[in-house]
Structure 1
Amino acid sequence: MTPDSGAQPRKRTGGRSARVREAVIAATLHQVLDHGIEGLSLGSVAVRAGVAETTLYRRWGSRTALITDAVTQLAELGNPPPDTGSLRGDLRQILEQISDLITRPGVARLLGTAAALDGDPELTAARTAFWDNRFEQISPVIDRARDAGDLRADAQPRAVLETLTAPLYFRLLVTGEAIDNHLIDRCTDHTITLYRP
């Protein structure tokens, strides 16, 4: 077959490609948690992941896209939308998942840095995309509760989830107080009281 006979290069799926992505995402998370977003370099990620730096530019295109992909994966790990059989159980499990995530070493620094970097439009867009993705993942829990009559018919998933989770981030980023079971119970109770039919 000659070069101009129309043959297309074969696209690889799974296998090595999946392993490369997994290694790069893990390396990115380690770098961000160790050094913050401001200290992340694609060169360091490439060395840690054992890949060429050109691989990162080819697959992600920018540092921001890589950070977004990595942080989104971090939030998704072990955090499937809960279905405990009760609204209280679901809301409490959402809070426990978030608490487990944001109290990991380095994550508070990551979130604080991301919140402070408003001057970078790419990072602002990445942060917005991250939260939009997170809300979208959890929205079915709120939709299900509303359809079952456990929440008001006008309860919007994003508003309910903001009410539920905001005190955790306030403690993490502002007061530094512990995120404990008492706070999780209080957030759950207040949210149910505010949005119950």
Structure 2
Amino acid sequence: MSEVENAVPQRRPGGRASRVREAVHRAVLDIVAEHGVDKVGIPEVSRRAGVRDSSIYRRWGTRENLILDALLAASERALPLPDTGTLRGDLTAFGAALIDLLDSPLGHGLFRALAFVTDSEEITEARKAFWTTRYRLTTRMISDAIERGELPPDTDARIAIELLIAPIHFRNLLTGDRPDAEFVDHLVTHVIRALRPGDDGRAEDGRA
């Protein structure tokens, strides 16, 4: 599935196509939450969604493209990008939203499914494409902060996002400790301090 990153179909607003996409996505997400990403099969998706499997193949081509499209759509709805006007505000809002998502049945199923190792090369590629796309979307928070003068121009946007989300995922997936608002505030302070050496991480912007 070498073209998976470019294979997500175009979205058509409204009408029957939109209803079909929603029903199929819901079926995929239910299976992922119940059994894991490896158990998603088009025949079962077809049965649950009430949509012919031929229609699913015609629109998505492969189950890997379908899984990727469903996971991306779900994450975009659950984790919209904040636009508070400051780096600290954006990181804090995004961190809080991520915690809420991970604490929900949907987020619990999605991210645990994405985290587990699989022997399927196709699913591995779909997972890689999912994270690549998510990084491309979320790093806009960093590029906006650079444009506002809050961060140095050479800031590595992906590393910046990883500094924020990695501790949250670590607690959720490995230790079972649910982060709270105080944890997010503390975490964001350290992330900004790492991105702006010499800063205490609590200023509203990076201007002198």
**Offset at 1:106?**
4.9
Match of 1:167 in 2: 167
TM-score by length of 1: 0.86
Question: Which TM-score applies when normalising by structure 2?
Answer: 0.82
Q: State the number of aligned residues.
A: 186
Q: Does 1:136 align with 2:108?
A: no
Larger CA Rg, structure 1 vs 2: 1
For 1:63-142, list aligned pairs within 5 A: 63-142=63-142
Structure 1 segments (4+ residues) deviating >4 Å: none
CA-based RMSD: 1.9
Q: Within 1, Cα distance between the matches of 2:13 and 2:85?
A: 38
Contact 2:29 2:106 in 1 (8 A): no
Contiguous gaps of at least 5 residues in structure 2: 1-11, 198-208
Deviations 1:79-120 (A, max 9, x none): 332111211110011112211222211533432333223422
Render the CA deviation track for 1:104-142: whole Å, top value 9, x for unaligned: 115334323332234221111111111111111122211
How many percent identity over aligned positions? 40
In terms of mean alpha carbon deviation, does 34-43 or 47-56 score higher?
34-43
Aligned partner letter, 2:125? A
Offset at residue 179 of structure 1 (A): 2.1
Q: RCO (CA 8 Å, sep 6+): is it higher in 1 or 2?
A: 2
Partner Cα separation in structure 2 for residue 109 and residue 78 of structure 1: 13
Write the distance in 1 (CA, Å) between the matches of 2:120 and 2:48: 26
SS state of the match for residue 28, structure 2?
Answer: helix
**Equivalent residue, structure 2, for 1:22:** 22
The runs of 5 or more residues in structure 1 that have no matched partner are 1-11
Q: Determine the C-alpha separation between the residues in 1 that align with 2:171 and 2:41.
A: 30
